[in-house]
Amino acid sequence: MLQLLGRQEASSSVENRHVDGVEYERAQPPGAISVQSLTKVNTLEGTGNQESSGAVGLTISGLHESIFELDLPPQGTLYTIVDLYFKHVNPWCPILDRKATLDRLFGSSVPDEAGRVLLHAIVRTTLRFYRDHSLTSRWREQYDTISKQKILLYAFENTNIDALQALMILALDVLGKSYGPQSWTLLSMIVRNVIQLGLGTERGVTLGPPSYQSVGTLQEFALPQPTSWIENEGRRRLFWMTYILDRYACVEAGSDFTLDEQQTDRPLPCRYDLFSKNQAVETRRFFGPGRPEITVNHAENLGSFSYHCEVLRILSRIHKFLRNPIDIVSLVDFEKWQATYRGLDRELDRWLYSLPDGYSRISQLCHSSPTSRISNWIMLHAAFVVSVLRLHSCAAYPIVRSQIFAPSYSAMQRCIAAVESLREIVQDVVNTGMLDLLGPHFAFSLWVSARVLLVDASVMNTDINPNIWFFLSTLEKMGQFWGVAKRYSQILERILQEYQEAKRVALTSPTSSSSHSPQSSGPKSLRDMRRNAYDLSILLAQRSASALQLPSVKVPASNELEYYEVFDFFNYPRPSVVVVNHHPPLTTTSAGSKQLETNDLESWVRPKTHFVSTNFTYSRTDPDWLAFQPPQD
Span 421-425, mean pLDDT?
Answer: 94
Q: Please give the Cα distance from 362 to 196 (Å, whole number).
A: 39
Q: State percent of the chain over pLDDT 70.
A: 73
CA-derived radius of gyration, the chain: 27
Least confident of 325-334, 337-346, 468-477: 325-334
Residue 20 DSSP one-character state: T
Q: Is the confidence at residue 580, as pLDDT, over 60?
A: no
Least confident of 122-136, 241-255, 348-362, 433-447: 348-362
Q: Please give the Cα distance from 147 to 155 (Å, whole number).
A: 12
pLDDT in tens, 203-216: 766 666 666 676 66
Q: Please give the Cα distance from 271 to 293 (Å, whole number).
A: 21
pLDDT band for 557, please (50, 70, 90 cuts).
Answer: confident
Residues linked to residue 15 through DSSP beta bridges, in sequence order: 26
Least confident of 41-50, 100-109, 282-291: 41-50
HSE-CB of 356 using CA atoms within 13 angstroms: 16
Q: Nearest 5°: phi and psi at 266?
A: -125, 135
Span 344-350, mean pLDDT?
Answer: 95
pLDDT band for 294, please (50, 70, 90 cuts).
Answer: low
The per-type count for the chain, helices as H runs and strands as E runs, is 21, 8
Least confident of 70-84, 142-156, 174-188: 70-84
Confidence (pLDDT) at 335? 93
Q: Is the confidence at residue 480, as pLDDT, over 80?
A: yes
Confidence (pLDDT) at 35? 37
pLDDT band for 574, please (50, 70, 90 cuts).
Answer: confident
For the chain, which residues make up each domain, given as ranges? 375-393+401-627
Task: Give the chain's mean pLDDT.
Answer: 80
pTM for the complete prediction? 0.82
Span 568-595, mean pLDDT?
Answer: 56
Comparison of pLDDT for 133 and 26, the residue scoring more:
133
Could you tell me which residues come within 8 angstroms of residue 4 by beta carbon, excluding any fewer than 6 positions away?
29, 68, 69, 71
Span 136-140, mean pLDDT?
Answer: 88
Span 218-234, mean pLDDT?
Answer: 81
Confidence (pLDDT) at 107? 83
Q: Is the confidence at residue 387, as pLDDT, over 80?
A: yes
Q: What share of the chain is helix, strand, coil (3-state, %, to 5)?
A: 60, 5, 35
Nearest residue to 614 (alpha-carbon basis) of 324, 400, 306: 400
Nearest residue to 251 (alpha-carbon basis) of 201, 200, 199, 314: 314
Comparison of pLDDT for 169 and 205, the residue scoring more:
169
Q: Is the confidence at residue 167, as pLDDT, over 80?
A: yes
Span 501-510, mean pLDDT?
Answer: 82
Confidence (pLDDT) at 208? 66
Residue 465 DSSP one-character state: P
Cis before 573? omega within 30 = yes
pLDDT band for 373, please (50, 70, 90 cuts).
Answer: low
Least confident of 49-53, 158-162, 561-565: 49-53
Q: Is the confidence at residue 393, as pLDDT, over 60?
A: yes
Residues linked to residue 25 through DSSP beta bridges, in sequence order: 16
Least confident of 59-73, 74-88, 241-255: 59-73
Confidence (pLDDT) at 60? 45
Q: Please give the Cα distance from 29 to 36 (Å, whole number).
A: 17
Nearest residue to 627 (alpha-carbon basis) of 409, 346, 341: 409
Comparison of pLDDT for 276 and 597, the residue scoring more:
276
Confidence (pLDDT) at 603? 38
Confidence (pLDDT) at 295? 74
Q: State percent of the chain over pLDDT 90.
A: 51
pLDDT band for 404, please (50, 70, 90 cuts).
Answer: confident
Confidence (pLDDT) at 102? 93
Q: Is the confidence at residue 24, as pLDDT, over 70?
A: no
Confidence (pLDDT) at 517? 64
